[in-house]
Amino acid sequence: MSVSIKSEHEIELMREAGRILAIVHDEMAKIIRPGVSTMDINRRGEDVIRSFKCIPSFLNYNGYPAAICISVNDEVVHGIPSKKRILQEGDIVSLDAGVIYQGYQSDSARTHAVGEISAEDRRLIDITKQSFFEGIKYARAGNHLFDISKTIQNFVEDNGYSVVRDLVGHGIGRKLHEEPQVPNFKPIGRGMKLRAGMTLAIEPMVNAGAYDVWVLEDDWTVVTKDSTKSAHYENTVLITEGEPELLSYNKDLV
Ligand code: MF3
Ligand code: CO
Q: Answer yes or no: is 2 within a domain.
A: no
Ligand 1 surroundings by CB, under 6 angstroms: 58, 61-62, 64, 69, 78, 96, 98, 107, 201, 203
Residue 122 Cα to ligand 1 middle (Å): 24
Q: Which mutation among 61, 181, 235 tests ligand 1's pocket best, with the greatest number of atoms within 8 A of CB?
A: 61
Q: Whose CA is nearest to atom 11 of ligand 1?
A: 58
Nearest ligand by distance to the CA of 68: 1
C-beta separation of 151 from 159 below 8 A: no
Residue 164 Cα to ligand 1 middle (Å): 15
Q: At what angle do helices 8-30 and 38-51 cross, to 10 degrees?
A: 140
| Threshold 0.95, pTM exceeds | yes
Residue 192 Cα to ligand 1 middle (Å): 23
DSSP percent split of the chain into helix, strand, coil, nearest 5:
30, 25, 45
The 10s digit of each residue's pLDDT in 152-185 is: 999 999 999 999 999 999 999 999 999 999 999 9
pLDDT value of position 223? 99
Residue 35 Cα to ligand 2 middle (Å): 28
Residue 77 Cα to ligand 1 middle (Å): 8
Q: Answer yes or no: is 198 within a domain.
A: yes
Nearest ligand by distance to the CA of 64: 1
Residue 78 Cα to ligand 1 middle (Å): 7
pLDDT value of position 245? 98
Rg (CA), the chain: 17
Q: Answer yes or no: is 3 within a domain.
A: no
Q: How far apart are CA 250 and CA 233, in angstroms?
A: 14
Q: Which atom of ligand 1 is nearest to the CA of 169?
A: 4
Q: How far apart are CA 239 and CA 195, in angstroms?
A: 7
Q: Which atom of ligand 1 is nearest to the CA of 177?
A: 9
Q: Answer yes or no: is 106 within a domain.
A: yes
The 10s digit of each residue's pLDDT in 192-243 is: 999 999 999 999 999 999 999 999 999 999 999 999 999 999 999 999 999 9
Q: How far apart are CA 93 and CA 96, in angstroms?
A: 10
- DSSP state at residue 231: E
| Cis, peptide link before residue 180, omega less than 30° from 0 | yes
Instruction: For residue 125, give the nearest of 44, 3, 39, 231 by alpha carbon.
Output: 231
Q: Answer yes or no: is 253 within a domain.
A: no
Q: Answer yes or no: is 203 within a domain.
A: yes
Range of the domain at 199: 8-246
Q: How far apart are CA 8 and CA 141, in angstroms?
A: 16
Phi and psi at 175, nearest 5°, equal -110, 155
SS (H, E, C) 84-129: CCECCCCCEEEEEEEEEECCEEEEEEEEEECCCCCHHHHHHHHHHH
The 10s digit of each residue's pLDDT in 64-80 is: 999 999 999 999 999 99
Q: Answer yes or no: is 251 within a domain.
A: no
The 10s digit of each residue's pLDDT in 10-57 is: 999 999 999 999 999 999 999 999 999 999 999 999 999 999 999 999
Q: Answer yes or no: is 26 within a domain.
A: yes
Q: Based on the structure, what is the number of domains in the chain?
A: 1
Q: How many CB atoms lie within 10 A of CB 224?
A: 23
CATH number for the domain including 119? Answer: 3.90.230.10
Q: Which atom of ligand 1 is nearest to the CA of 96?
A: 1
